[in-house]
């Protein structure tokens, strides 16, 4: 096993380049997508698929989903290097969702550079993002690890389960975003995270369990670990946005109070609306709804969250979820090194900005 988790990144990128080379030619197209009936246009496909995909990947990203997959595979007693193509499945899916989400949100910046749809046009970006939903699923058919048919089918059925729920989660999040009032409670918020963010984590864990032929209880346990970690991560992300903003009060930068400006219904917002005086709750929702907030409005919203104890509440929930994640894999019999790495993921969730 590599010494640190980050050591895997170059190997993951090489495995992705085996699936989608940086330079596309007819031989690659024939071998990956099948013979053309007439004639492929490799130049067009280069510009529509490989160039935008590698532009996004080369901007960074820690390939955590691929690395977590490899940690599980090693924890299950198999050689991670043999399963590198499968590690690319959640990683390419994840990057595809980033491109599509940015189109949905009309995002301007991604990983410090213009969002892909601003570089290549909405049509190319969207088609590349959607292609990245199906390209990784083909890996199971190519079957580099020579898996028996029942495991390939189980992997497809698992992927269909999780990818359907991903779109439910995204659908809930978008719906709320477009609503004036904070209509939902904590349980719906956690479900949205479990579906939208958690399902991709569950794919990582379940895929590792399925291809190494683990019993259902183990697959279930690692799926719970991954879902809980992802939900905690999502809450941690929202907390960071608030803390970052409070720390920057008065700096008047673009980075200040992003989630409030976007009107995001975070766990903190839901908690604050439930636990504030009616007029303060009303004021918070008005600020979230408005398009033309001043920095003073943003600070006021942040102070309503703080005064309601919502930041502390969210941090407690995130820590609790991370602890539940660690408990979920207790007793699975992983070696100490694997347990240490899996704990590290759950700690990173809350502490990554410190």
User: Sign of the CA dihedral 118, 120, 124, 127?
Assistant: negative
**Gap between the Cα atoms of 345 and 226, Å rounded:** 9
In the list 2, 9, 118, 177, the residue contacting a second copy (rule: CB under 8 A) is: 177
One of 17, 107, 119, 184 touching a second copy (CB under 8 A) = 184
Q: What phi and psi values does residue 110 have, to the nearest 5 degrees?
A: -140, 120
The CB-of-89 to a second copy minimum distance in angstroms stands at 12
CA distance 203 to 160: 10
Shortest Å, Cβ 263 to a second copy: 13
Q: How far is the CB of 128 from a second copy (least distance, A)?
A: 7
Q: How far is it, in rounded angstroms, from Cα 157 to Cα 150?
A: 10
Under the binding rule (CB under 8 A), the answer on residue 35 touching a second copy is: no
293: left (phi over 0), alpha (psi -120 to 50) or beta: beta
Q: Is residue 163 part of the contact set for a second copy (CB under 8 A)?
A: yes
Q: Are strands 109-110 and 113-114 parallel, antiparallel or unpaired?
A: antiparallel
Q: Is residue 133 within the footprint of a second copy (CB under 8 A)?
A: yes
Contact 129, 99 (CB under 8 A): yes
Asked if 44 touches a second copy (CB under 8 A), the answer is yes
Residues near a second copy (CB under 8 A), total: 69
Residue among 79, 111, 114, 134 that touches a second copy (CB under 8 A): 134
243-276 as b/e: b if 16+ CB within 10 A: eebbeeeeeeeeebbebbbebbbbbbbbbbbeeb
The reply to whether 39 sits near a second copy by the rule CB under 8 A is yes
Residues in contact with a second copy, shown as a per-residue x/- string from 214 to 243 under the rule CB under 8 A: -------------x----------------
At 114, is the secondary structure helix, strand, or coil?
Answer: strand
Q: Which residues bind a second copy (CB under 8 A)?
A: 29, 32-34, 36-41, 43-45, 47-49, 100, 103-106, 121-124, 126-128, 130-131, 133-135, 137-138, 140-141, 149-150, 152-153, 156-157, 160-161, 163-165, 167-168, 170-172, 174-178, 183-185, 187-188, 190-192, 194, 198, 227
């Amino acid at each position: 096993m590599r010494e640190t988790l980050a050591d895997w990144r170059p190997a993951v990128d090489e495995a992705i380049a085996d699936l989608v080379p940086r330079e596309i030619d007819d031989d690659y197209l024939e071998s990956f997508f099948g013979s053309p009936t007439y004639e492929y246009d490799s130049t067009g496909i280069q510009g529509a698929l490989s160039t935008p995909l590698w532009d996004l990947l080369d901007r960074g990203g820690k390939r955590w989903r691929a690395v977590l997959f490899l940690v599980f595979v090693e924890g299950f007693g198999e050689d991670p290097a043999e399963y590198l193509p499968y590690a690319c499945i959640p990683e390419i899916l994840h990057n595809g969702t980033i491109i599509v989400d940015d189109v949905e949100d009309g995002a301007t910046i991604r990983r410090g550079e213009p969002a892909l749809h601003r570089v290549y046009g909405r049509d190319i970006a969207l088609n590349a993002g959607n292609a990245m939903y199906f390209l990784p699923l083909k890996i199971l058919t190519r079957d580099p690890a020579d898996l028996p048919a029942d495991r390939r089918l189980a992997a497809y059925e698992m992927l269909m389960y999780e990818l359907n729920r991903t779109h439910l989660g995204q659908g809930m999040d978008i719906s709320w975003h477009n609503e004036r009032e904070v209509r939902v409670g904590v349980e719906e918020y956690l479900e949205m995270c479990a579906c939208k963010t958690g399902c991709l984590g569950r794919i990582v864990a379940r895929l590792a369990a399925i291809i190494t032929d683990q019993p259902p209880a183990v697959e279930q346990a690692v799926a719970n670990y991954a879902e809980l970690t992802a939900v905690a991560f999502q809450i941690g992300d929202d907390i960071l946005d608030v803390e970052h903003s409070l720390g920057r009060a008065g700096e008047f930068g673009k980075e200040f109070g992003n989630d409030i400006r976007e009107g995001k219904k975070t766990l903190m917002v839901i908690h604050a609306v439930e636990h504030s005086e009616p007029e303060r709750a009303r004021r918070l929702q008005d600020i979230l709804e408005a398009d033309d907030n001043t920095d003073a409005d943003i600070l006021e919203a942040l102070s309503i969250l703080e005064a309601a104890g919502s930041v502390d509440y969210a941090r407690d929930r995130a820590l609790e979820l991370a602890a539940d994640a660690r408990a979920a894999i207790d007793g699975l019999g992983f070696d100490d090194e694997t347990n240490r790495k899996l704990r590290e993921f759950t700690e990173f969730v809350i502490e990554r900005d410190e």
